[in-house]
Copies of this chain bind each other. A is one copy, B any other.
């Protein structure tokens, strides 16, 4: 047997089953959707017995957690990328929002696993919220740079949460067929997304007193 040489203290029998399982899960996810993802199916796809995964994940849920974790990392990358491509600082915020929604649209099954895991734990992943260069901080920093220096820290935090919630809501609803007319009228999905995000202000302006 010529295994690829145990570079780290990880591989044993299979090489790196944990990794293989996560990748098999992502493959099944994008191919057949979240409803078709079974632990047995993942094991089958990875070429091991149905009980093998239990030596790497305590649960089916823990496998999904791992998949979701990778999804959130990819999301953070997509957001950073979008911000770096923004034409100016006023555009950065909208770009972030659009990038968020488009990530969800491009990886619908993955995004669904991500949000399901979050809701099951009543929390977004901590690294996403706490780390210095987390997605959460990226949004907050962008808000500051775009002209919210005057705001109190509390304002800033609330605005960040507001932005995140709006992006998540739009991500889950932007595919609704009832919005097809609006998209056509505006000339595409991007215009629709930007339009909705911009009109959050109009909506918010009529509130409070």
Interface residue ranges, A against B (CB under 8 Å): 88, 90-91, 93-94, 97, 112, 115, 118-119, 122-124, 126, 129, 143, 146-148, 151, 154-155, 157-170, 172-179, 182, 185-186, 194-209
The answer to whether A119 and B123 have CB atoms under 8 Å apart is: no
If A123-B176, A123-B177 touch, does A206 touch B90 (CB 8 Å cutoff)?
A: yes
Q: List 16 A-B contacts (CB under 8 A).
A: A93-B207, A112-B119, A115-B172, A118-B173, A118-B176, A123-B176, A148-B202, A151-B202, A154-B186, A161-B199, A162-B166, A166-B200, A198-B208, A199-B204, A200-B203, A201-B204
The answer to whether A206 and B162 have CB atoms under 8 Å apart is: no
A88 CB, nearest partner CB in chain B, Å? 7
The answer to whether A90 and B163 have CB atoms under 8 Å apart is: no
A172 cross-chain contacts in B, Cβ below 8 A: 115, 119, 165, 168-169, 172
A63 CB, nearest partner CB in chain B, Å? 16
A148 cross-chain contacts in B, Cβ below 8 A: 202, 206
A91 cross-chain contacts in B, Cβ below 8 A: 207-209
A175 cross-chain contacts in B, Cβ below 8 A: 122
A102→B209 CA distance, assembly (Å) = 21
A123 cross-chain contacts in B, Cβ below 8 A: 176-178
The answer to whether A206 and B93 have CB atoms under 8 Å apart is: yes
Cβ-closest chain B residue relative to A142 = B206
The answer to whether B207 and A90 have CB atoms under 8 Å apart is: yes
A94 cross-chain contacts in B, Cβ below 8 A: 207-208
Set B122, B177, B203: member contacting A166, Cβ < 8 A: B203
A173 cross-chain contacts in B, Cβ below 8 A: 118, 124, 161, 164-165, 168
A23 CB, nearest partner CB in chain B, Å? 25
The answer to whether B176 and A146 have CB atoms under 8 Å apart is: no
